[in-house]
Structure 1
């Protein structure tokens, strides 16, 4: 909803201007009250103005505003005032002072620690009772006179405290939400970097090892290995640059240019070709439909397959593995299996990262040894109704 012109104008006023105005109100308040006394009281609006001026500082300087209001309440009783009018102006001023002091106590309770607000409430109550006693405002029963003042102070203090607690609770919730968002983004970046770099490093390590073994006997094979290392390194470097460019981009938001395209299941053939360079043949089987998936599902599915294949290259010790991608009506099923004797389980971040990707999409993930031998990674990711 668009802000009203008046509210927009108020928000555009610098904070320094509001600070100057609030302090000006605090200074002018006792001066206006003194002017009313000096003039003999013909202008009844002056005492009302004197008590309203400190309200501008209640939000930024509640303790100072309370001190000014209490000082004025004492001054009204101690200084020689103009003769009261028939309308009971002095009595109305005293009641108005009680209201303004109580409001100041409520603002302090809402913005300051309990120790400070309790001290302010007790001080305000003592001053109010002292002023009432000096002005002989007591009725016949002392308890009947004290109870309204005490109830008023306690009520505004309790309301202000509740408002302050709710505000602090909202601030704590906002801080927690920001912290969770930062942590989620850090985990996302960590998964992306791991999945991108780990596969490439696996291919490079395999090619470097093979090239070093055949460089003397088969120079052409060594040359092919170096060429594969160069291509894999360039692809990885380009991917890292795209990611860093996205992170550095300051204008990401509605209406901006789309981000660089992320890999998806359509890139499985390229993954299989790179894995073949690393010495592992990847047989990809696509089943079910080929409807476009949402970017988060498409990217996560590709990263799960990529990490599972990387684990086969690094740990399984086999020459081939099988990838099955079955896109059903309500879910996407992914399975990567191999016949290796070595386990891909360990203390790394690969399997936890794959599990996190599936869980974030409300899917299921399993990874472990197969009874017939080898290792199996499987994930089921639900497909939202909009993608079916």
Structure 2
């Protein structure tokens, strides 16, 4: 629309000024069909400005040269050529722009040289200055645009470099953590599992107390589970790594509500599981969060509250699931470490809400309500 408006406005100026000038310049050639065609060409040439400003300049300048050379009355038909000149140079077409500027000055300059008259020479000088005044601001505009584009390019490059550096540092940190897990923690847990198995066999051969055998079984099972989960974490920290001998290990499914009975059997204290409502599959994120909340709550019950029993209640509701863990420990008087903070962050990450505090009958209660 802007281009159409510019062409129409230029046509009005060109035709109106040419008609007025023809009546005031009796020695000029009267406007005929060719003259009107050249006037139309000066205005229509601006239609190329958005895509080909150099072609627009060539069209307007050529039509203007024809009007001048054929002796038509001088008027504002040079305006479209000046507009095209500015646009061509500002758009970065410097060679075409300055060539057009030279052409615009050369045509009347040759005529002035052939027909030497003082007033004609002065008019040519004024015209040359007008062309220069048009071209020079166009150069300033082009330089400013080029500078802005260069600044933006450097800013984008710097931002991309910062992002790549951040990704590189994050990858290095992940690899460092993976090495620590593999070289230190994984080895330690493996030793615990191995010695727990050996101790369980020794207790069984010696006819030791069943409580000791059960405790060692819990240690061995929990150690193996920790190793399996640690291996999954290593797979995330080191994506694309292969298992020994190039064999890909089958990825274990993320734990969820289906694995709660196994978790409670190895919790280290008697735990009762209660289910309210009709069981149904949960979204993977909510399913994993339920398991982790129960796991961390029972760990806190044993480690910090000295609890001897616990109850886990899983309530299926419409559009939500609630998991509640009650123990008979020391309640909120016991130190809890960072486990509750981690639980709250995990629950909040899936859009849920975690509440903790003393249970009505004593002990401590952890409740997490998760949307499904």
Q: TM-score of the superposition, structure 2-length normalised?
A: 0.49
Q: Which has the larger radius of gyration?
A: 2
